[in-house]
Structure formats: C-alpha cells, structure tokens
Structure 1
Amino acid sequence: MDLTNVELVNNEEKHNFELFVEGQRAFIDYQLRGDKIYLIHTEVPVELEGNGIAAALVEKAFQYIEAHGLKMVVLCVYIQSYLKRHPEWERLKA
C-alpha cells in the first residue's frame, strides 16, 4: 500500500497525529509539554493491520517533530521497536 501521498494530520484538539486510509483513522496519541512531545500510543484499525500504516504514521510523525524543532519522549512500545529498526531517528529523543 502506497502511503506516500497520505497527509499527516496534527489534531491538536485530540492530541493525535492522524492518518486517514480507506476512510479509517490510524493515530498516535501524544502530549506536548514545552518543546518535548511524549508519544504515548499508536493505533491502527484491525482491518488495516499489516499494510505498513503504523510505520508510515511513525515516519511522518518523526518528520513533523523534526521540522518543528521538538524532542520526543517515547512511551509507546510500537515506536520503541520502530526506533530499534531505524536508529537514525534516535537523534530526536529528549
């Protein structure tokens, strides 16, 4: 599934980074405190699992975090495992 052109939505009201794929919502729950963003939980609808959506969501969120000069605190188990596979993003950790 090509997610290159799927736009990341920063839903500040819900404290979520969101991707909408096939009418469904995948998200990362976060809390922003100063220049630190706490990444709490990643969720992808069951119907869409296995399509690389969580990885695309995390990648787009990291790009957003870097572009906005934030540092991240990773509490989400999925994102922690993603960082093990992509250590180049460790530079964003607080």
Structure 2
Amino acid sequence: MAAHVADNPAKSRFEVTSGDQGTELAGFAEYFLSEADGEIAFIHTEIDPKFGGQGLGGILAQAALDAARERGLAVLPYCPFIRGWIRKHPEYTNLVPENLRVKFEL
C-alpha cells in the first residue's frame, strides 16, 4: 500500500492517505500555525485503527516535521505522539526551540 502525506491548510492538518489506491484518509496531525512567530504547534495526531500497525503515524510525523524544517518553522510538540516521535529521532530535536526543550521533555 502506498502512503502519501499532504498539508491541508484549510483544515490546519497534515493528512496521510493509504489504501489500495492511496486515496483513503488514514490519519492526520492537527496543527496551529503562527507565521508571524515562525512557529507550528502540533496539537493532535490520529491514525484510523483500520490502518494501525502499518507505520503510518511515523510516516506522517516525519513528513510534517520535514515540512516544518523546509519552511524554517520552530516546532512546538504539544501532541504526545509528535513529541514521542521526536524523542525517538533526536535529529529532529533542533526543530524545537532550545529554551522550550525542557518543557517538552526533550
């Protein structure tokens, strides 16, 4: 199954699609974007149980964080899933402002 991640700014979330045609919504990572502050706050991530165990959460997290990096945005990982993913992939820790890493336990 092919997975695809895209930003859906109208819904303030990154969405991962999968399925036989790669078009079925499998999950999303909601965010609050503050362009003025140069920050993106991830607030909730959800994968449909139907797609559980396929690694789609990790694909979603990596794509969303890579997009934040490309845009030069600081990441505020309020979402426990995104925060946990960053802990497992320390090469993404530098996206979180240094003065906030203790707050997010990173």
TM-score, structure 1 as length reference: 0.89
Which position in structure 1 is the counterpart of 2:92?
89
The yes-or-no answer on 1:43 pairing with 2:40 is no
CA displacement, residues 4-55 of structure 1 (integer Å, 9 cap, x when unaligned): xx2x211111100111111133100000112100000110001001110000
Between Structure 1 and Structure 2, whose CA radius of gyration is higher? Answer: 2
Which position in structure 2 is the counterpart of 1:63?
66
Question: After TM superposition, what 4+ stretches of structure 1 lie above 4 angstroms from structure 2?
Answer: none
Match of residue 17, structure 2, among 8, 17, 20: 20
Q: Secondary structure at the match of 2:27?
A: strand
Match of residue 8, structure 2, among 4, 8, 11: 11
Q: Equivalents in 1 of 2:82, 2:45: separation in Å? A: 8
Number of residue pairs the alignment of both structures matches = 91
Percentage identity across paired residues of the two chains: 27
RMSD: 1.3
Q: Equivalents in 2 of 1:69, 1:11: separation in Å? A: 18
Q: Equivalents in 1 of 2:80, 2:49: separation in Å? A: 17
Q: Equivalents in 1 of 2:26, 2:2: separation in Å? A: 16
Deviation at 1:84, TM superposition (A): 1.4
Q: Give ranges in structure 1 of 5+ residues lacking alignment.
A: none
Deviation at 1:2, TM superposition (A): 5.7
Q: Equivalents in 1 of 2:77, 2:28: separation in Å? A: 15
Q: Equivalents in 1 of 2:56, 2:79: separation in Å? A: 16
